């Protein structure tokens, strides 16, 4: 995006107020009006010092006048407005709607799984790399088998993550276990990485008694407080303002953790996206926003979703540092998310990551994407731009993985999944009492009555209810 | 600090007085969901002194508020020490006490920080607790409500202020789909102990968008509790109880009641969220009301008493769930019910309450339940028109006379 710099005699002052726009926002000057103090809870935090000032004090009128009078640059080409000084020009010129050059994409591995020379990246040990690959492959197997289970009518619904395994696993690997994750719905890999078992995934999909959600949500709407993974809520983007709230909470309690939230390209059209980013920026909350730009929102292509250069350029609109990453490059995702996380926690600021990827699978099992996109487009991404294969090549080239490891992993995963599905299927569904619990902490009178009424009904006419349906 | 839990006086007016002083919210001490656990003990109001006497008067019957925006209410004959304050100060006091007590309590909303809130409920709090704990947010109700929910799921106890209840319609998705639901859909893994509060109701010529009665729209949402305060005493008590509750609670305040003055106890107390308040015991008819309409009812009660009627006035306070125990006992005694509300006729709190009473207490009714509500129109700006959309004391008197024929 081309921006004209104010023609000012005093270059320093103009540079202080203008932004460096070559893709990554590096440094921003803070006027004394920003930031918060957190005086009540505990001692002053070190990293807040550079930004600290009591905001409400600085809005006192006398102080504002002082700021104006203190300014030594008697610069006739700068104007004073709320929000600071701004240079002016007499040239009638509009900022173009887009930059002549799109924001470049950060990548480390080429398509053949070789590290591009002179890449900036955080090295990954053999142990970590193998673990990452194993999880990516397991995720693939899991998606495949659950999808088939839905097609067989054993579960009612499923959402695959095919094509986005690198975003899922590599981002999870870059986070700390205490980082709170607020997913959209296409990030089960993060939960898998954190230790959610295949049996637990199956239990949720089957909505049985062992499901942590007690059978209350649709399949793939996982949630686990043990793993700091918030329960998925179907409406799009509602988790973004909540992520700002989580960041706020972590900031208040001075925890060494951040909020990490995911959104798709389509979700960035929701109002909550803009509000969530704006809030996180104003609160200076430690939130990492990861947008999986996979090209499609059900049948809506990104060209019909927005007119900007993707999502990365939107970060600057909210004063948020952003980066565009090749989402199918596990090493790039790992480095970017790791760096973003450190920035978010140490500097107490939000960061936006746009991961470019492709949704190889259908939107969900209720969708047939061949109806609105070319089958060979899907094939191309599935075969030639596959993130799992790409990472596998790198891991194998390092001598850390072999064909035997591969077949063993896949067959083990497959076996475990089939067993998990069988067990989950056989498992009992939640009892009637779970219909009325957890609406409140303690059941209200009307809920107790309703429960009693239903119990009586079921006892009177058990033949009208499914076999095995129990109180 | 000993916490004295003051009962609404509801049960006590009708049953043998039971002196049980309890400390802290009773629900954790009593199994199940007993509403009878909270009882007045050693209170400074008339109620506890005059039980069992034939002239059962609770303090408010002696000070019928002449108009809804009373700035100087006559003092009830309280003997204990107490301090006088306005309703918005009572809210602020409750909020401040809870913030002192628990560092997880925080406030967020528009202009709640250094500005002190549009109705000054958060005045002084930012100075005391800092900019982060009393947070000024950008203008996006859905976002700061969502933010409050996210913070609550991570362990904080946010008090979310809507500058006007009507604006919270913009937060409906977060309130309905997330606030009310996430405890349930997560299988009980995440709790959402938020308080959502703000002024609503018909004010003085504020126009349609600023005169909304959101309790109608929210009452269906499972998982939330709704309470409406009407006096400085119950405002402070309900605020404190709402903050301590593990459930999301929506506290409805009224734009015209912020300047009501009353003497409240110096000792700490909270009000039960699910209990109704007996304003004036009586024999002939049960009048159920809440928030501002309580004052119109009490004004009408003055006229009715002069005409020889003995109305029982109950401020239902708990809009979700209804305190059917108190209401039921009253219906069983008087056999006639009049509901006076500010909601629209269609789909309001009165509509739900009418259905609940008919279903549960049909056998005890000598006359159909009558409900006086606002018409199904947006609230007009013109003063005369606006006055006609709100139920007036004269209408209440007529309705009682009609029902008691």
Closest CA to B196 of B238, B259, B155: B238
b/e map of B289-298 (b: 16 or more CB within 10 Å)?
A: bbbbbbbbbb
Residues 401 through 440 of chain A touching chain B, CB cutoff 8 Å: 437-440
Answer yes or no: is B209 within a domain: yes
DSSP label at B176?
Answer: I
pLDDT value at residue A74? 52
Contact A253 B155 (CB under 8 A): yes
Residue with tokens 């306005």: B86
User: Catalytic pick from A17, A135, A362, A363?
Assistant: A363
Residues 239 through 258 of chain A touching chain B, CB cutoff 8 Å: 239-246, 248-253
pLDDT value at residue A463? 84
Does any CB of chain A come closer than 8 Å to the CB of residue B265?
A: no
| A240, A245, A272 member nearest B148 (Cβ) | A245
Q: Are both B91 and B209 inside the same structural domain?
A: yes
- Using the predicted structure, report yes or no on whether residue B145 has a pLDDT greater than 60: yes
CA distance A36 to chain B (A): 6
pLDDT value at residue B142? 93
pLDDT, tens only, A369-378: 999 999 999 9
Contact B138 A437 (CB under 8 A): no
pLDDT value at residue A469? 64
DSSP string across B9-33: SHHHHHS--------S-GGGTSSTT
ipTM confidence score = 0.72
pLDDT value at residue A45? 38
- Using the predicted structure, report yes or no on whether residue A232 has a pLDDT greater than 70: yes
Tell me which of B146, B192, B323 to substitute to probe the interface with A (most A C-beta atoms closer than 10 Å). B146
Closest CA to B226 of B319, B356, B161: B319
Mean pLDDT of B364-373: 96
- Compute how many other C-beta atoms are within 10 angstroms of the C-beta atom of residue A1: 16
Answer yes or no: is B240 within a domain: yes
Closest CA to B7 of A335, B22, A41, A282: B22
What's the start-to-end Cα distance of chain B, in Å?
A: 52
Does any CB of chain B come closer than 8 Å to the CB of residue A61?
A: no
Give, for B324, the enclosing helix (H) or strand (E).
helix B324-334
Of B46-60, B160-174, B378-392, the poorest mean pLDDT is in: B46-60
Question: B223: phi > 0 → left, psi -120 to 50 → alpha, else beta; which?
Answer: left
pLDDT value at residue B220? 93
Mean pLDDT of A254-261: 96
For residue A189, what are the CA distances in angstroms to A161, A173, A229, A335? Answer: 8, 10, 11, 17
Of A107-111, A127-131, A218-222, B29-33, the poorest mean pLDDT is in: B29-33
Answer yes or no: is B151 within a domain: yes
Q: Are both B116 and B247 inside the same structural domain?
A: yes
CA distance A231 to chain B (A): 6
Contact B150 A41 (CB under 8 A): no
- Sign of the C-alpha dihedral computed for residues A220, A221, A227 and A229 taken in this order: positive
Of A288-302, A353-367, A408-422, B8-22, the poorest mean pLDDT is in: B8-22
Could you check whether the bond before residue B321 is cis, i.e. omega within 30 degrees of 0?
yes
Does any CB of chain B come closer than 8 Å to the CB of residue A272?
A: yes
- Using the predicted structure, report yes or no on whether residue A9 has a pLDDT greater than 50: no
Of A288-297, B250-259, B306-315, B381-390, the poorest mean pLDDT is in: B381-390
Closest CA to A75 of A6, A18, A27, A29: A6
- Using the predicted structure, report yes or no on whether residue B76 has a pLDDT greater than 70: no
Confidence of residue B29 (pLDDT cuts 50, 70, 90): very low
- Using the predicted structure, report yes or no on whether residue B339 has a pLDDT greater than 60: yes
- Using the predicted structure, report yes or no on whether residue A470 has a pLDDT greater than 80: no
Answer yes or no: is B2 within a domain: no
Confidence of residue B61 (pLDDT cuts 50, 70, 90): very low
Is A101 exposed, middle or buried (CB count within 10 Å of its CB: 0-12, 13-18, 19+)? exposed
Query: Tokens for B204?
Result: 């003085």
Tell me which of B101, B134, B151 to substitute to probe the interface with A (most A C-beta atoms closer than 10 Å). B151
Which structural domain, as residue segments, surrounds residue B311? 277-404
Contacts of A278 in chain B (CB under 8 A): 138, 140, 143
Strands B157-161 and B105-109, sheet pairing = parallel
For residue A102, what are the CA distances in angstroms to A37, A438, B331? Answer: 38, 49, 72
pLDDT value at residue A285? 96
- Using the predicted structure, report yes or no on whether residue B65 has a pLDDT greater than 50: no
Answer yes or no: is B20 within a domain: no
Mean pLDDT of A438-456: 90
Q: Who has greater pLDDT, B26 or A224?
A: A224
Say whether A384 is catalytic. Answer: no
Q: Are both B134 and B244 inside the same structural domain?
A: yes
- Sign of the C-alpha dihedral computed for residues B159, B160, B164 and B165 taken in this order: negative
Backbone angles phi, psi at B283, to 5 degrees: -120, -30
Residue of B nearest to A223 (CA): B186
Residue A342 Cα to chain centre, angstroms: 16
Q: Are both B158 and B245 inside the same structural domain?
A: yes
Residue A259 and residue B150 in contact, taking contact as beta carbons nearer than 8 Å: yes
Q: Who has greater pLDDT, A19 or B311?
A: B311
- CA within 13 Å, CB half, A461: 5
Does any CB of chain B come closer than 8 Å to the CB of residue A43?
A: no
Contact A278 B138 (CB under 8 A): yes
Mean pLDDT of B40-55: 37
CA distance B169 to B211: 12
pLDDT value at residue B190? 95
Largest CA distance in chain B: 60
**Three-class SS of residue A351?**
strand
Confidence of residue A76 (pLDDT cuts 50, 70, 90): low
Q: Are both B210 and B143 inside the same structural domain?
A: yes
- Using the predicted structure, report yes or no on whether residue A16 has a pLDDT greater than 50: no
Mean pLDDT of A184-212: 96
Q: Are both B213 and B359 inside the same structural domain?
A: no
b/e map of B75-105 (b: 16 or more CB within 10 Å)?
A: ebebeeebeebbbbbbbbbbbbbbbeeebbb
Does any CB of chain A come closer than 8 Å to the CB of residue B107?
A: no
Residue of A nearest to B136 (CA): A283
Q: Are both B104 and B185 inside the same structural domain?
A: yes
**Three-class SS of residue A467?**
coil
Contacts of B225 in chain A (CB under 8 A): 440
**Three-class SS of residue B108?**
strand
Contact A239 B150 (CB under 8 A): yes
Answer yes or no: is B326 within a domain: yes
Does any CB of chain A come closer than 8 Å to the CB of residue B114?
A: yes
Q: Are both B244 and B134 inside the same structural domain?
A: yes
Confidence of residue A75 (pLDDT cuts 50, 70, 90): low
CA distance A446 to chain B (A): 7
pLDDT value at residue B311? 97
pLDDT value at residue A471? 65
Contact B173 A211 (CB under 8 A): no
Residue with tokens 């686990």: A224
Q: Are both B192 and B294 inside the same structural domain?
A: no
Q: Are both B242 and B132 inside the same structural domain?
A: yes
pLDDT, tens only, A312-326: 999 999 999 999 999
Residue of A nearest to B99 (CA): A40
Query: Tokens for A215?
Result: 């059978």
Closest CA to B26 of B273, B323, B194: B273
Closest CA to B137 of B103, B166, B104, B171: B171
DSSP string across A156-205: S-----TT-HHHHHHHHHHS-TTSEEE--SS-HHHHHHHT--HHHHHHHH
Tell me which of B147, B176, B182, B357 to substitute to probe the interface with A (most A C-beta atoms closer than 10 Å). B147
Tell me the sheet residues that pair with A106: A325
- Using the predicted structure, report yes or no on whether residue A174 has a pLDDT greater than 60: yes
How many separate domains does chain B show? 2
DSSP label at B362?
Answer: G
pLDDT value at residue B260? 96
Residue of B nearest to A249 (CA): B151
DSSP label at B177?
Answer: I
Answer yes or no: is B44 within a domain: no
Query: Which residues contact residue B49 at a Cβ distance below 8 angstroms, ignoring those fewer than 6 apart?
Result: none
Mean pLDDT of A278-294: 97
Q: Are both B107 and B215 inside the same structural domain?
A: yes
Residue with tokens 């405002």: B235
Domain boundary among B245, B265, B285: B265
Round the average pLDDT of chain A to a whole number and report it: 86
- Compute how many other C-beta atoms are within 10 angstroms of the C-beta atom of residue A304: 11
Residues 192 through 221 of chain A touching chain B, CB cutoff 8 Å: 211-214, 216-217, 221
Say whether A364 is catalytic. Answer: yes
Q: Are both B330 and B383 inside the same structural domain?
A: yes
Mean pLDDT of A336-363: 97
Query: Tokens for A158?
Result: 């499923």
Residue B230 and residue B314 in contact, taking contact as beta carbons nearer than 8 Å: no
CA distance B182 to B192: 8
b/e map of A306-343 (b: 16 or more CB within 10 Å)?
A: eeebbbbbbbbebbbbbbbbbbbbbbbbbbbbbbbbeb
**Three-class SS of residue A326?**
strand
pLDDT value at residue A358? 97
Q: What is the CATH number of the domain that holds B330?
A: 3.40.50.920
Residue A393 and residue A331 in contact, taking contact as beta carbons nearer than 8 Å: no
Contact B189 A213 (CB under 8 A): yes
pLDDT value at residue A6? 38
- Compute how many other C-beta atoms are within 10 angstroms of the C-beta atom of residue A411: 11
Say whether B141 is catalytic. Answer: yes
Mean pLDDT of B6-27: 37
Is B153 exposed, middle or buried (CB count within 10 Å of its CB: 0-12, 13-18, 19+)? buried
Domain boundary among B230, B265, B300: B265
**Three-class SS of residue A77?**
coil
For residue B357, what are the CA distances in angstroms to A439, A454, B93, B326, B363? Answer: 23, 21, 36, 12, 10
Q: Which CATH number fits domain A126-426: 3.30.420.40, 3.40.50.720, 3.40.50.300, 3.40.50.970?
A: 3.40.50.970
Domain boundary among B211, B238, B265: B265
Query: Which residues contact residue A22 at a Cβ distance below 8 angstroms, ignoring those fewer than 6 apart?
Result: none
- Using the predicted structure, report yes or no on whether residue B319 has a pLDDT greater than 80: yes
Contact A245 B321 (CB under 8 A): no
Say whether A34 is catalytic. Answer: no
Answer yes or no: is B9 within a domain: no
**Three-class SS of residue A393?**
helix
DSSP string across A8-26: -S-HHHHHHHS---SSS--
Of A198-207, A449-458, B128-137, B323-332, the poorest mean pLDDT is in: A449-458
Confidence of residue B405 (pLDDT cuts 50, 70, 90): confident
Closest CA to A165 of A182, A196, A144: A144
Confidence of residue A38 (pLDDT cuts 50, 70, 90): very low
**Three-class SS of residue A259?**
strand
User: Catalytic pick from A156, A234, A366, A402?
Assistant: A234
């Amino acid at each position: 995006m081309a921006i004209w710099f104010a023609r000012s005699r005093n270059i320093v002052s103009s540079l202080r107020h203008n932004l460096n726009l070559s893709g990554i926002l590096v440094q921003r000057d803070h006027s004394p009006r920003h930031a918060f103090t957190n005086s009540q809870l505990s001692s002053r935090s070190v990293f807040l010092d550079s930004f600290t000032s009591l905001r409400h004090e600085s809005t006192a009128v006398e102080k504002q006048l002082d700021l104006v009078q203190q300014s030594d640059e008697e610069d006739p080409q700068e104007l004073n407005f709320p929000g600071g000084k701004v240079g002016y020009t007499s040239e009638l010129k509009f900022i173009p709607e887009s930059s002549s050059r799109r924001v470049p994409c950060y990548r480390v591995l080429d398509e053949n799984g070789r590290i591009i020379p002179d890449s900036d990246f955080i090295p990954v040990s053999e142990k970590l790399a193998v673990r990452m690959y194993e999880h990516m492959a397991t995720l693939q197997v899991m998606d495949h088998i659950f999808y088939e289970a839905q097609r067989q009518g054993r579960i009612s619904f499923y959402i695959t993550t095919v094509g986005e395994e690198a975003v899922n696993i590599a981002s999870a690997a870059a986070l700390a276990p205490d980082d709170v994750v607020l997913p959209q719905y296409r990030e089960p890999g993060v939960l898998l990485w954190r230790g959610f078992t295949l049996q637990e995934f199956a239990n949720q999909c089957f909505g049985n008694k062992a499901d942590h959600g007690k059978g209350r949500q649709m399949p793939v709407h996982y949630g686990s407080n043990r793993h700091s993974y918030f329960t998925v809520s179907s409406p799009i983007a509602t988790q973004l303002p909540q992520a700002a709230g989580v960041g706020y909470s972590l900031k208040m309690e001075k925890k060494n953790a951040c909020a990490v939230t995911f959104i798709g390209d389509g979700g960035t059209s929701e109002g909550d996206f803009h509000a969530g980013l704006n809030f996180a920026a104003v609160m200076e909350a430690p939130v990492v926003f990861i947008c999986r730009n996979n090209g499609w929102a059900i049948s809506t292509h990104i060209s019909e979703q927005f007119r900007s250069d993707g999502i990365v350029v939107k970060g600057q609109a909210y004063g948020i540092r952003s980066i565009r990453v090749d989402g199918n490059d596990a090493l790039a995702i790992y480095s970017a998310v790791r760096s973003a996380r450190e920035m978010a926690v140490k500097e107490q600021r939000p960061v936006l990551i746009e991961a470019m990827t492709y949704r190889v699978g259908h939107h969900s099992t209720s969708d047939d994407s061949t109806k609105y996109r070319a089958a060979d487009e899907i094939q191309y991404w599935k075969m030639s731009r596959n993130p799992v294969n790409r990472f596998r090549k790198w891991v194998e080239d390092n001598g850390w993985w072999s064909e035997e490891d591969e077949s063993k992993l896949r067959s083990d995963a497959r076996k475990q999944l089939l067993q998990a599905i069988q067990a989950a299927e056989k498992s009992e569904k939640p009892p009637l009492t779970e219909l009325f619990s957890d609406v409140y902490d303690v059941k209200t009178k009307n809920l107790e009555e309703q429960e009693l009424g239903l119990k009586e009904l079921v006892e009177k006419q058990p033949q009208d209810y499914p076999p095995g349906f129990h109180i | 600090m000993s916490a004295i839990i003051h009962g609404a006086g509801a049960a006590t007016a009708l049953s043998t007085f039971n002196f049980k002083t309890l400390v802290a919210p009773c629900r954790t001490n009593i199994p199940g969901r007993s509403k009878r656990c909270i009882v007045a003990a050693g209170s400074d109001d008339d109620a506890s002194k005059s039980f069992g006497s034939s002239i059962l008067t609770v303090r408010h019957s002696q000070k019928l508020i002449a108009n809804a925006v009373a700035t100087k209410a006559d003092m009830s004959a309280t003997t204990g020490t107490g301090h006088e304050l306005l309703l918005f100060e009572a809210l602020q006091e409750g909020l401040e006490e809870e913030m002192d007590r628990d560092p997880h309590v925080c406030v967020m909303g528009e202009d709640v920080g250094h500005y002190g809130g549009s109705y000054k409920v958060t005045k002084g709090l930012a100075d005391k607790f800092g900019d982060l704990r009393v947070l000024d947010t950008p203008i996006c109700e859905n976002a700061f409500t969502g933010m409050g929910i996210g913070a609550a799921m991570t362990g904080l106890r946010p008090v979310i202020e809507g500058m006007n209840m009507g604006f919270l319609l913009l937060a409906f998705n977060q309130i309905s789909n997330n606030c009310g639901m996430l405890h349930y859909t997560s299988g009980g893994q995440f709790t959402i102990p938020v308080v959502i509060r703000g002024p609503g109701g018909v004010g003085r010529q504020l126009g349609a968008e600023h005169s909304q009665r959101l309790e109608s729209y929210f009452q269906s949402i499972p998982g939330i509790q709704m309470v409406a305060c009407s006096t400085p005493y119950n405002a402070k008590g309900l605020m404190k109880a709402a903050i301590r509750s593990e459930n999301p609670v929506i506290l409805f305040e009224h734009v015209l009641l912020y300047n009501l003055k009353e003497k409240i106890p110096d000792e700490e107390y909270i009000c039960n969220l699910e209990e109704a308040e007996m304003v004036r015991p009586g024999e002939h008819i049960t009048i159920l009301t809440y928030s501002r309409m309580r004052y119109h009812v009490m004004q009408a009660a003055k006229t009715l008493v002069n005409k020889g009627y003995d109305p029982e006035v109950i401020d239902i306070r708990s809009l979700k769930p209804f305190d059917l125990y108190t209401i039921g006992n009253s219906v069983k005694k008087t056999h006639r019910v009049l509901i006076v509300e500010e909601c629209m006729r269609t789909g309001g709190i009165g509509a739900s309450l009418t259905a609940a009473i008919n279903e549960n207490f049909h056998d005890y009714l000598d006359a159909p339940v009558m409900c006086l509500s606002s018409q199904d129109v947006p609230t007009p700006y013109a003063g005369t028109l606006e006055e006609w959309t709100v139920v007036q004391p004269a209408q209440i008197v007529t309705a009682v006379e009609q029902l008691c024929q």
